[in-house]
Amino acid sequence: MLIPIRTFSILSLGLLCTALAYISYDSTLVQTATAQQSAPEKRPDAWYPRTEKVGPDEMFVVALGTGMPTPITRGQKSSAWYVELGNGDIFLFDIGSGSVENLFALRPEFHRVDKVFASHLHTDHVGDAAALWVGGWLSGRYTPLHIYGPSGAKPELGTAAYVEGLKKTYAWDVSGRAGILPDAGGELIAHEFDFKQDGGVVYEKNGVKITSFPAIHVLDGPVSYRLDWNGLSFVFGGDSAPNKWFIERARGADFVIHECFYTPEGLAKTLGWGLRQATFVSSYIHTPPSGFGKIMSEVKPRLAVGYHTIRSPGLDQLILEEIRTTYDGPLAIANDLMAWTITKDAIVQREVVSAERVQAPPTTQGYKEAKRSGEARYSEFTNNGKWAGYKPPPLPER
């Protein structure tokens, strides 16, 4: 069983009158409401797959991956965030290496998992796109998988080129499933937009609006996102040094995720780097804890969520101490399979408890009836290699 992260905020007496971030052993309640607002309904201590439905006015968020490119461990996969809304929509923000394992742990209805919003094209942010594409197709998705993402400094560095590369790389895989799986589920569609746009709408449907804005990380191209729906707001920052766009676009949002990287000293110690290299990486192309705290002090979210570091007791303490030098508001340092239910009145934090070995839920009637054509065929050479000592059962009619 995963152990929930207990995050405490030490606030001044004045702040306690208006905001509260505390842990109870019934559930983790991060409440930034005034005392006049009612408490949320009692929920189970943990979130168990397929035992609860997202309420009509709720937003449900799960950290599928909170770690680094390496190591990818059983406890921490690379960047990925699951957002399910009360209107039935599901969105993924990043799909980094290893994260599909945690997506499967949720046992979602895969016909609804068809949209990925990539912050940038590092493997720890998009490395499991192919696993989602094919694994989701096998598990119930019978419509195309859509990948939204930014352009680059050159066409070959943008999301459209990345998606075309995936299609070429996995042509054998997809072609071999033709006729067995629904045709449309094998399609992969890129939606590339200009990374320079500041607050441009990249998705708007069913009452949901998602906007993008630039980030600063390694090369031109990275972005962050804001999702607005039903009076609730979710902001996701991929990798970035502190930047003006994030502060302007995230200000006052309900649930705000931003990377909270190592301190220079922590990175040097963990990876055995020299201090100059560690300082450049942690503080010039990423955001160290003190920078994260400064950003959140400007943004003032209902809940600030830090991620993108390796969780260990020694580093956790160092990170928290640095954040608290610049930020004293509601805070969570995310770990894989933390979950939050967000309403206008409260934010309830729990852990996902799932079996080690899970199967996707049963496919829908729509999946079973979806068009299948162009069944793959062997060449005469391969057909002649079949062993006469084995006779397969006859195929049922479609």
pLDDT at 78: 96
Expressed in angstroms, the distance from the first to the final Cα of the chain is 43
pLDDT at 69: 87
Which of 79, 62, 120 has its CA nearest to residue 341? 62
pLDDT at 71: 79
pLDDT at 18: 29
Rounded mean pLDDT, 98-113: 97
Greatest CA span in the chain, whole angstroms? 83
Give the integer Cα–Cα distance in Å for 332 and 9: 9
Band (151; pLDDT cuts 50, 70, 90): very high
Q: Which of 36-50, 219-233, 356-370 has the lowest mean pLDDT?
A: 36-50
Q: Is the pLDDT of residue 108 over 90?
A: yes
State the amino acid at position 357 in one-letter form.
R
For residue 158, is it within any domain?
yes
pLDDT digits (tens, 9 = 90+) for 287-298: 999 999 999 999
**Orientation angle between helical segments 159-169 and 129-138, nearest 10 degrees:** 60
Band (228; pLDDT cuts 50, 70, 90): very high
For residue 89, is it within any domain?
yes
pLDDT at 41: 63
Give the integer Cα–Cα distance in Å for 398 and 394: 12
For residue 383, is it within any domain?
no
pLDDT at 361: 93
pLDDT digits (tens, 9 = 90+) for 234-255: 999 999 999 999 999 999 999 9
pLDDT at 119: 98
pLDDT at 244: 97
For residue 290, is it within any domain?
yes
Could you give the 3-state DSSP secondary structure of residue 237?
strand
pLDDT at 263: 84
Q: Which of 82-96, 180-194, 271-285, 361-375 has the lowest mean pLDDT?
A: 271-285
Rounded mean pLDDT, 383-398: 92
Give the integer Cα–Cα distance in Å for 166 and 144: 14
Local structure of residue 181 (DSSP, 8 states): B
Burial 301-324 (b: 16+ CB within 10 A, else e): bbbbbbbbbbbeeebbebbbebbe
For residue 156, is it within any domain?
yes
State the amino acid at position 324 in one-letter form.
R
Rounded mean pLDDT, 210-232: 98
CATH number, residue 223: 3.60.15.10
Q: Is the pLDDT of residue 374 over 90?
A: no
Band (375; pLDDT cuts 50, 70, 90): confident
3-state secondary structure 100-126: HHHHHHCCCCHHHCCEEECCCCCHHHH
pLDDT at 264: 87
- State the chain's mean pLDDT as an integer: 89
Reported as half-sphere exposure (CB side, CA atoms, 13 A), residue 50 has a value of 15
Output the pTM of the full model.
0.89
For residue 117, is it within any domain?
yes
pLDDT digits (tens, 9 = 90+) for 41-69: 678 889 999 999 999 999 999 999 999 88
Q: Is the pLDDT of residue 19 over 80?
A: no
Band (154; pLDDT cuts 50, 70, 90): very high
pLDDT at 312: 83
pLDDT digits (tens, 9 = 90+) for 158-213: 999 999 999 999 999 999 999 999 999 999 999 999 999 999 999 999 999 999 99
Give the integer Cα–Cα distance in Å for 169 and 186: 14
Give the integer Cα–Cα distance in Å for 167 and 375: 19
Torsion of CA 4, 333, 196, 82, to 10 degrees: 0
Q: Is the pLDDT of residue 25 over 60?
A: no
pLDDT at 338: 97
Local structure of residue 172 (DSSP, 8 states): H
- Supply the range of the domain harboring residue 61: 13-360
Give the integer Cα–Cα distance in Å for 177 and 158: 28
The count of domains in the chain is 1
Rounded mean pLDDT, 347-366: 94
pLDDT digits (tens, 9 = 90+) for 297-337: 999 999 999 999 888 887 888 899 999 999 999 999 999 99
For residue 270, is it within any domain?
yes
Q: Is the pLDDT of residue 16 over 60?
A: no
Q: Which tokens sit at 365?
A: 């009637």
For residue 244, is it within any domain?
yes
Band (1; pLDDT cuts 50, 70, 90): very low
